[in-house]
């Protein structure tokens, strides 16, 4: 956080190059979050760029009361939601490319990993947008409940309830569909 404060101070004092440090640190997790919101690669790229522009212009409004990443995600998510309302983005299912992520070279392992991720994306994609967003922020971006609460402008209790409901819906969907990689998750232990 101390490093981020230095970057923010540098940017606010006129050093625009310092903003590149912020972009480099957050571009991949922000892209992953927005891609899962839009399910469209080109829209996600455009929205990430627009979000970083918006974050740059609002950097002076960051008051340091919460974490910078939560504030940044909130600005980006709000921007995306505004764009969704304005343009009514067409939500399309997109195959997330795992080729660059998977280190295993065995073809069967690569296939199994892709299939597992495809099934998980499909399950998560069936959730309401707010529950999907909370799941992604919690498990993909590893944010705490309080960071998610701050980021989404929801109470801590609401975040916990929505996360619980999202996981319950996933379990119910898995139980109905029987089989697949995630069927064991539906069995209460």
Q: What is the pLDDT of residue 151?
A: 82
Per-residue pLDDT tens for 10-58?
888 988 888 999 999 999 889 888 888 887 888 889 999 999 999 999 9
Q: Mean pLDDT for the chain?
A: 78
**Mean pLDDT score, 103-122:** 63
Q: What is the pLDDT of residue 53?
A: 93
Nearest to 163 by CA among 149, 153, 151: 149
Distance CA 145, CA 75 (A): 18
**Mean pLDDT score, 91-109:** 50
Q: What SS3 class is residue 17? A: helix
Whether 83 shows a pLDDT value over 60: the answer reads yes
**Mean pLDDT score, 111-121:** 68
**Mean pLDDT score, 72-100:** 69
The secondary structure of residue 97, as a DSSP letter, is P
Stronger pLDDT, 98 or 126, i.e. the higher one = 126
**Mean pLDDT score, 63-68:** 83
Helix then strand then coil, % of the chain, to nearest 5: 75, 0, 25
Distance CA 53, CA 45 (A): 13
Q: What is the pLDDT of residue 57?
A: 92
Assign 150 a pLDDT band (cuts: 50, 70, 90).
confident
Whether 187 shows a pLDDT value over 60: the answer reads no
Q: What is the pLDDT of residue 164?
A: 92
Phi-psi region of 90 (alpha: psi -120 to 50; beta: other; left: phi over 0): beta
Say which range, 48-62, 122-136, 138-152, 171-185, has the weakest mean pLDDT. Answer: 171-185
Q: Which domains does the chain have, with CATH numbers?
A: 1-96 (1.10.1740.10), 103-189 (1.10.10.10)
């Amino acid at each position: 956080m101390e490093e981020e404060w230095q970057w923010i101070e540098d940017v606010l004092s006129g050093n625009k190059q310092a903003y590149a440090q912020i972009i480099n640190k957050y571009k991949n997790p922000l892209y992953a979050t927005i891609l899962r919101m839009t399910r469209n690669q080109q829209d996600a790229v455009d929205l990430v760029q627009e979000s970083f522009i918006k974050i740059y212009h609002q950097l002076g409004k960051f008051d340091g009361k919460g974490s910078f990443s939560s504030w940044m995600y909130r600005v980006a998510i709000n921007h995306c939601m505004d764009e969704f309302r304005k343009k009514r983005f067409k939500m399309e299912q997109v195959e997330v490319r795992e080729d660059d992520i998977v280190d295993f070279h065995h073809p069967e392992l690569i296939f199994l990993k892709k299939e597992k991720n495809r099934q998980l994306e499909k399950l998560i994609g069936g959730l309401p947008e707010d529950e999907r967003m909370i799941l992604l922020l919690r498990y993909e971006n590893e944010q705490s409940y309080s960071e998610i609460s701050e980021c989404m402008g929801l109470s801590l209790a609401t975040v916990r309830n929505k996360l619980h409901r999202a996981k319950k819906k996933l379990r119910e969907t898995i139980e109905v569909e029987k089989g697949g990689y995630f069927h064991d998750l539906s069995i209460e232990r």
